[in-house]
Amino acid sequence: MSISGKKILIAVSGGIAAYKTHFLIRDFVKKGADVQVIMTPDAEQFVTKLSLSTLSKKPVYSDFYGDNGTWNSHVELALWADIMMIAPCTANTLSKMVHGMCDNLVIATYMSAKCPVFIAPAMDLDMYIHPSTKKNLKLAEDFGHIIIPAESGELASGLIGQGRMAEPETIYTAVENYFTGNIPAKSLEGKTVLITAGPTYEAIDPVRFIGNHSSGKMGFSLAEEASKRGAKVILISGPSAQVLKDSNVELYKVTSAREMLAKVFEFYDKIDIGIASAAVADYAPKEVAKEKIKKNDDNLTIELVKNPDILKIMGEKKTHQFLVGFALETQNEEENAKGKLEKKNLDMIVLNSLRDEGAGFKNDTNKIKIFTKTEKKEFNLKSKGDVARDILNFVESQLLK
């Protein structure tokens, strides 16, 4: 089945991203879909009924009553549609949807809909990451609605981050996939996955620290991929500039190895899969100076003490968890990775070498080998998104054994 002949009801709410809806309507109509547009009163501040009706080739409704006293039946609109798409969906409209605050034609139509509902949120960065928005998106997903996550980029406020409505091509593809049945299986539904990511910083004084070059890209990619597969995902990240693109992932920020250890064991007993991709500092200063250390001497000696080995402790306390570790090596790679697999009581370890061009810290790509106690699998250089899929595919294959 294709989009041709499908009846698509598009609801536009009052956000700056409403201009993108023109391109979405055009794409649906070009592919033979029958498109009906409705809008909230506030949406008329951003786009006109004339432009939307010209593209959809139908009248556009924003009120319960027409100019000639006729009733624009929200019931008929809802029952007519094969799918309903709210794009853009503002924080205000989302809140009204999930809490049943029915004060306009869009919400009344939504509450009468029997068809699948797609939601393309769009709002400013701080609004998108606010706990109330995350909760409302989760509620909408629990209702069975299909969320098309906001994307990252420059926002109308001038901030840069997640909140931009997905591009029309992305939304179109999501709808096309729905009608063709090409929907990714929720293969990790019912599972809880804990992932550590990024570096840790160990303070020397109030302004200096010991750290490493880890960006967190691999861990964030793993978190987003696990969430796509239906898992409940807990992401514990050291200092990282990465932007989380999936609002369903629970993100916890920490700084030091000891903070990461404490946060991991807040959840460890309740998780099914643990993936330790963080580059945890092995050592920390024995004492942290209370004031900035002045540059007085030619040499500075700092006594270091060993940090807790988070992954080793996870392995020691493992009961039912499937535990995945990472090894970044520069020599004797396979031997060291296999040793770590055994010593830390892991089920699986992912090896990458700094000698492989394009692999390791900060890169958008990675080249990995995966080991269990009985298996070895090698992969070519790929994007970290693709590497995340390879890793989780391998995890799933082990869980089925």
345-359 pLDDT, tens per residue? 999 999 987 766 656
Residue-wise pLDDT for 157-203, tens only, equals 887 878 889 899 989 988 988 887 665 567 898 999 999 999 999 99
In angstroms, the CA 193 to CA 232 distance is 6
Tell me which of 46-55, 272-281, 308-317, 387-396 is least confident: 387-396
Tell me which of 29-33, 160-164, 261-265, 390-394 is least confident: 160-164
Report the pLDDT averaged over residues 235-261: 93
| Closest of 246, 254, 250, 257 to residue 271, by C-alpha | 250
In angstroms, the CA 199 to CA 239 distance is 6
| Same-domain pairing of 197 and 319 | yes
| Same-domain pairing of 103 and 196 | no
Among 180, 211, 230, identify where a domain stops. Answer: 180
Beta-carbon count within 10 A of 282 CB: 14
Beta-carbon count within 10 A of 169 CB: 11
Residue 278's pLDDT is 96
53: exposed, middle or buried (Cβ count in 10 Å: 0-12, 13-18, 19+): middle
In angstroms, the CA 233 to CA 249 distance is 5
Residue 97's pLDDT is 96
| Same-domain pairing of 260 and 349 | yes
Asked if 180 and 2 count as a contact pair (C-beta separation under 8 A), the reply is yes
151 band by pLDDT with thresholds 50, 70 and 90: confident
| Same-domain pairing of 327 and 262 | yes
Task: State how many domains the chain has.
Answer: 2
Three-state SS at 106? helix
| Same-domain pairing of 267 and 145 | no
| Same-domain pairing of 133 and 168 | yes
In angstroms, the CA 132 to CA 136 distance is 6
Residue 270's pLDDT is 96
Reading the block at residue 164, the tokens are 């931009």
Instruction: Give the domain range for residue 390.
Output: 192-399
Q: In this model, does residue 393 exceed pLDDT 70?
A: yes
Report the pLDDT averaged over residues 49-77: 91
Q: Which contiguous run of DSSP H or E holds residue 273?
A: strand 273-276
Half-sphere exposure of 216 (CA within 13 A, CB side): 25
In a domain, 54, yes or no: yes
| Same-domain pairing of 169 and 68 | yes
Residue 178's pLDDT is 85
| Same-domain pairing of 122 and 211 | no
| Same-domain pairing of 27 and 170 | yes
In a domain, 108, yes or no: yes
| Same-domain pairing of 244 and 279 | yes
Q: In this model, does residue 1 exceed pLDDT 60?
A: no
Report the pLDDT averaged over residues 23-48: 96
Reading the block at residue 367, the tokens are 């080249």
Residue 174's pLDDT is 87
Q: What are 349's strand-pairing partners? A: 325, 371
What is the rounded average pLDDT for all residues in the chain? 91
Residue-wise pLDDT for 82-112, tens only, equals 999 999 999 999 999 999 999 999 999 999 9
Among 129, 153, 180, identify where a domain stops. Answer: 180
Q: In this model, does residue 311 exceed pLDDT 80?
A: yes
Among 135, 156, 180, identify where a domain stops. Answer: 180
Residue 185's pLDDT is 61
Residue 388's pLDDT is 92
pTM tops 0.75 = no
Q: In this model, does residue 400 exceed pLDDT 90?
A: no
The question of whether 212 is a catalytic residue gets the answer yes
In a domain, 1, yes or no: no
Residue 184's pLDDT is 57
Q: Which of 68, 177, 182, 212 is catalytic?
A: 212
Tell me which of 23-37, 101-115, 124-138 is least confident: 124-138
Q: How far is CA 195 from CA 11, 166, 288, in A?
A: 37, 26, 28
In angstroms, the CA 203 to CA 288 distance is 6
152 band by pLDDT with thresholds 50, 70 and 90: confident
CATH number for position 124? 3.40.50.1950
Report the pLDDT averaged over residues 369-379: 93
